[in-house]
Amino acid sequence: MSESSSSCIDYESIPAIALNYSVRKRLALYLNPSNTVAADWTEIAEKMEFTYLEIKNYEKRENPTRKLLEEWQTRAGATVGKLLSFLEQAERKDIILDLQQLIDDDCRKYLERQKELPVQVPEVDSGHQDRGITVNDGHVPEMFDAFICYCQNDFQFVHEMIRQLEQTDYNLKLCVFDRDVLPGTCVWTITSELIEIRCKRMVVVISDDYLDSDACDFQTKFALSLCPGARTKRLIPVVYKPMKKPFPSILRFLTVCDYTRPCTQSWFWVRLAKALSLP
């Protein structure tokens, strides 16, 4: 990257998830084709420490670069700076030069989102402000458009949710427990502060595994107990695969985003994004 750009943006501090659709699309255009002259996606995958079997599996994908980035960005230390370093090591400075402006724009948007403070901030007392809960907490609490309640077995769908809602023009900011919450934080503190104060809404990923999770059940019931009432503002249930168990009765009064019905899949993400974007 140019010296002037590097002096303004600390790429190592910005997670790879900050890169939006346009950057990822152009990266794929450069890296997907096999090239005997320049390094392609397979060399980047090796530098990301993917195994031989993983790389061979990605070869079957229509867009291996996109899948590679989706998987890599969930790993610790997956930053924009690290990706740029991989491209430089692979001698693909042509890609960096072409995408520099788009990458800088995405990084600045990410940094701006970190500074945004919603209406609830004045209500947060000093005790909350002094305690870090999420990885990007600073002098002020990090705020989110939605808290995602899910069980571990549904994590792959949460990855897709991140891709569809954060890394596209919707530009939403989700609080995903495994990615955003600092280890060692009290479960009660996480639930009460994130759901009640820092997140405008809560998306509940419903599945048979979710119904077996005590932690998910607790978080959902807590959100429903909030005043002035979760029914008009807080909860959005999402079903993404067929279920054998009955749908939880405490959520039946809420409209469900159903990904299992082929007739609604085409506008599923548009509908969910609009619900999360409302004031």
Q: CA 13 to CA 22: how far, in whole Å? A: 21
Give alpha helix (H) positions in the chain. Answer: 3-8, 21-31, 41-47, 52-58, 64-72, 80-89, 93-115, 126-130, 155-165, 177-180, 187-189, 208-211, 214-224, 262-265, 268-277
Q: Which of 46, 47, 48 is nearest to 56 (CA)?
A: 46
Contact (CB, 8 A) for 176 and 208: no
All domains in the chain, ordered by first residue: 11-116 (1.10.533.10), 144-277 (3.40.50.10140)
Is the predicted pLDDT of residue 92 greater than 80, yes or no?
Answer: yes
DSSP state string for 157-181: HHHHHHHHHTSSTT---EEEHHHHB
Q: What amino acid is encoded at 226 in this protein? A: L
Q: Give residue 113's pLDDT band: very low, low, confident or very high (50, 70, 90).
A: low
* pLDDT per residue as tens digits for the range 243-277: 999 988 778 788 899 999 888 888 999 999 999 99
Q: Give residue 186's pLDDT band: very low, low, confident or very high (50, 70, 90).
A: low
Q: Give residue 229's pLDDT band: very low, low, confident or very high (50, 70, 90).
A: very low
Q: CA 38 to CA 22: how far, in whole Å? A: 22
110, two tokens: 């990410």
* pLDDT per residue as tens digits for the range 129-180: 445 677 777 667 788 999 999 998 999 999 999 999 998 999 999 999 888 8
**What is the arithmetic mean of pLDDT over 70-90?**
89
Q: Which residue has the higher pLDDT, 122 or 269?
A: 269
Q: CA 276 to CA 223: how far, in whole Å? A: 16
Side-chain half-sphere CA neighbours of 245 within 13 A: 11
Q: CA 40 to CA 63: how far, in whole Å? A: 12
